[in-house]
Amino acid sequence: MTGLVLRDLRVEIATGGRRLAPVDGVSLSVAPGECVALLGESGCGKSLTALALMRLLPEGLRIADGEARLGETDLFALPERAMQQVRGGRLAMVFQEPMLSLNPVMTVGQQIGEALAVHRALAGAAAGAEIRRLLEAVGLSADLSASYPFQLSGGQRQRALIATMLAGEPRILIADEPTTALDVTVQAQILRLLKRLQAERGMGLLLITHDLDVARDMADRVAIMYAGQIVEWAPREALFAGPVHPYTQKLFSVLPSAQRRGERLDHIPGTVPPLGTAFSGCRFADRCDQSWARCRKEAPGFHERAPGHFARCHLMVEPRPAGPASAPAASGQAVEAQAMPLLRVQDLAVHFPQRKGLLRRVAGWIKAVDGVSFEIAAGETLALVGESGCGKTTLARAILRLIEPTAGSVRLGDAAIGELQGEALRRKRAEMQIVFQDPFSSLNPRMRVGEILEEGMQALRPELAKAERKALVPVLLQQVGLDAAAALRYPHAFSGGQRQRIAIARALAVEPRLLICDEPTSALDVSVQAQILNLLQGLQRERGLAYLFISHNLAVVGYLAHRVAVMYRGRLVETGPAAAVMAEPMHPYTRLLLESAPGRGLGVAEAVEAGTGGEAGCPFAARCREVQPRCLVAMPALRRLNDRQVACHLRE
């Protein structure tokens, strides 16, 4: 067999006199032409496994044990020089962030050429022809050979990187979260590309991901990783038909989707054990709702449940003794929105000047938000979806007046936000707050959590005395499910999900009526995402909060939102009740988004990547599969159809 076989990999790191093993006994194999997905939450050791295979572990980490065979070659026994030949040759790797893996001062063609020279001794005209062939194979125009990485879009960069990696004709390609930084539409394209290349070249693909749906679309076999070990290893059909390990089962049950609207999501208590945790039995025991005494005493073996289907759990060989069953997930009722609009946005526009030349004269305008109107009622959730760069965050900031809008008006209750000044604006600000995407940059690392929570109150609720403010801090923390002791600690002591809770508590401190959530869960693991979504729903029930929920994850939107607004290049192209829009999208762009969402197979036809279309016609015309002659000359207006609105000539 010429595939990749990894046996009992153990990666060690020495800190403070202790040896810790972020990867502890991982075995897997990838056959030629096969796709294996390595799936797990962040920090479980997926990337380190991949880097160990490439022998590219960061400083301080080393391979302590294990064997890796690529065909006949023993990878861990090779001298470094020979390994350089293997790396990028027979064994190649694509990283999550293509901008960091491409050399910014070399053109794409030069980088591919370099790989060709090293691994296939190609030069001159032969190399030039091969570069063109490779670029076309990854769906890039051969003209891009002379471009520098910064001139490419995110998807193009990832394609260019894949082309570089293909140059050595690898037998095995490792892809570490190759699409995590990309939009769903681009993600679908890249995944399709990888699938096609794998089939065409009979290449083995080790796909590292945290997304069950991506694994469902791509993998032949799936390995589920938890705390440095593989806990379940199964053919795809078997796994998706019936996961047997309690952790895998939980991973399935925390996923939000439109079908689960109104249900409280199941959740996994606690977080992934941090590196350095001492385990005495099963590593999942603390979070497992089926654990019993044996789980804490004895580490489970890796048992074969069905042919080829393994799981690391005592339940595989012994039924759970009778005992108190874990409580079933409580189900809450869907929150019903009220009719009275709380926020009314009318023709809002934000145009950024584009300066050029020495004198920085205004050469043009970037219309980040271009005439957007919508309403949100008290207690309602409006989801705003669209690809990155379409203006969602700018819109949010303009509503809060963190950016001055160019035109249009924002009314909150009875006040026009745009006309307020000074004290009045300040008071109104207390009524709308924001929760940001990145839980690591949204909290000042130099302030204690208590100070962070108090800061807003101090500015917006001056009527509170210092002692009253201090007394509110534990109440707020408890509302978002944190310990009161958290107030004395600094943000770095918290995990991503906990930080997001702190950010929510900070916003709640000033008692807002509207909360703008800018992709609040996209940086979080699925189990933590479920906790945050449950929290947001609970708060809405208790306080009648309205949410403007910005997201690109359509499953989350379908689960949470009452209404959806789809945004494309600064304009709304479709709005309507969430269930209706998801079930029956009317705008071609909405349809594209829905079809690109992972987990539905990869059957959609290739869509053109976002380009800059003509000025006059429909902005989506360049990518639209149903484009008509009049689309190129006339801009479709947003038209009302019953309870929905669509901007497309097909719907007139």
Partner 1 sequence: MNLPFQPVVLWSDALLFLLVAVLIGFLLHVRRHEHLRAPWARVGQSRVGMATAVVLAVYAAIGVLDSLHFRPALPAEPGQPVQYGNEVLSVLDLMAKPLRSQVEKTYSAPFALHLYAKENLTLADGRQVRDYPRLKYGGAHLSDERERAGDIARRAVVGVAWGLGLAAAVVLVAAGLLARRNRMPPGDALVRLARAPELAALRSALLTLTLLLVLAGSVVQLAGHYHILGTDKVGQDVFYLALKSIRTGLLIGTLTTLIMLPFALFLGVAAGYYGGWVDDVIQYLYTTLNSIPGVLLIAAAVLVAQVYIETHPELFDTAAARSDLRLVFLCAILGVTSWTGLARLLRGEALKLRELEYIQAARAFGVSHLRILSRHILPNVGHLVLITVVIDFSGLVLAEAVLSYVGVGVDPAMASWGNMINGARLELAREPIVWWQLAAAFLFMFVLVLSANLFADSVREAFDPRAERRT
Ligand X SMILES: Nc1ncnc2c1ncn2[C@@H]1O[C@H](COP(=O)(O)OP(=O)(O)O)[C@@H](O)[C@H]1O
Contact set with partner 1 (CB under 8 A): 15-17, 60, 397, 400, 402, 425-426, 429, 433-434, 436-438, 441-447, 455-456, 459-460, 490, 492, 503, 506, 510
Q: Which of 460, 408, 406 is nearest to 432 (CA)?
A: 460
C-beta of 292 vs 440, nearer to ligand SF4: 292
From candidates 17, 58, 124, 319, binder to ligand X by CB under 6 A: 58
C-beta of 47 vs 189, nearer to Mg ion: 47
| Tokens (6 digits) for 428 | 């109104």
| Tokens (6 digits) for 456 | 């807003």
Amino acid identity, position 162: I
From candidates 10, 46, 119, 157, binder to ligand X by CB under 6 A: 46
Stretch that binds ligand X, among 40-48, 314-322, 452-460, 610-618 (CB under 6 A): 40-48
Question: Residue 402's binding partner, choosing from ligand SF4, partner 1, Mg ion, none, with beta-carbon cut-off 5 to 8 A by kind?
Answer: partner 1
DSSP string, 248-299: HHHHHHT---GGGTTSPPP---S-PPPTTPPPSS-TTGGG-TT--HHHHHS-
Which residue carries 């307020």 as its tokens?
A: 420
Which residue carries 């301080």 as its tokens?
A: 60
Residue 407 CB burial class (10 angstroms; 0-12, 13-18, ≥19): middle
Contacts of 541 (CB under 8 A, 6+ apart): 332, 333, 335
> Is 458 one of the binding residues for ligand X (CB under 6 A)?
no
| Tokens (6 digits) for 266 | 């199941």
> Is 650 one of the binding residues for ligand SF4 (CB under 6 A)?
yes
C-beta of 181 vs 650, nearer to ligand SF4: 650
Q: Which of 65, 88, 89 is nearest to 77 (CA)?
A: 65
C-beta of 296 vs 492, nearer to partner 1: 492
> Is 116 one of the binding residues for ligand SF4 (CB under 6 A)?
no
> Is 60 one of the binding residues for ligand X (CB under 6 A)?
yes
**Count of residues that bind ligand SF4 according to CB under 6 A:** 25
Q: How far is CA 444 from CA 117, 378, 393, 484, 526, in A?
A: 48, 31, 20, 19, 25
Amino acid identity, position 218: M
| Tokens (6 digits) for 76 | 């861990």
Q: How far is the CB of 631 from ligand SF4 (least distance, A)?
A: 3
The CA distance from 168 to 310, in Å, is 34
Radius of gyration of the chain from Cα atoms?
Answer: 26
Q: How far is the CB of 261 from partner 1 (least distance, A)?
A: 29
From candidates 29, 47, 437, 551, binder to Mg ion by CB under 5 A: 47
The CA distance from 495 to 270, in Å, is 11
Question: Residue 338's binding partner, choosing from Mg ion, ligand SF4, partner 1, none, with beta-carbon cut-off 5 to 8 A by kind?
Answer: none
Taking residues 311 to 330 in sequence order and writing x for each that binds ligand SF4 by CB under 6 A, - otherwise, the string is --xxx---------------
Residue 455 CB burial class (10 angstroms; 0-12, 13-18, ≥19): middle
C-beta of 158 vs 437, nearer to partner 1: 437
The CA distance from 502 to 506, in Å, is 6
> Is 273 one of the binding residues for ligand SF4 (CB under 6 A)?
no
> Is 227 one of the binding residues for ligand SF4 (CB under 6 A)?
no
The CA distance from 138 to 159, in Å, is 6
Question: Residue 191's binding partner, choosing from ligand X, ligand SF4, partner 1, none, with beta-carbon cut-off 5 to 8 A by kind?
Answer: none
Which parts of this chain interact with Mg ion (CB under 5 A)?
A: 47
**Site residues (CB under 6 A) for ligand SF4?**
246, 282, 284-285, 288, 290-291, 295, 300, 313-315, 588, 618, 620-621, 624, 626-628, 631, 636, 648-650
Residues in contact with ligand X by CB under 6 A are 13, 22, 40, 42-48, 58, 60-61, 275
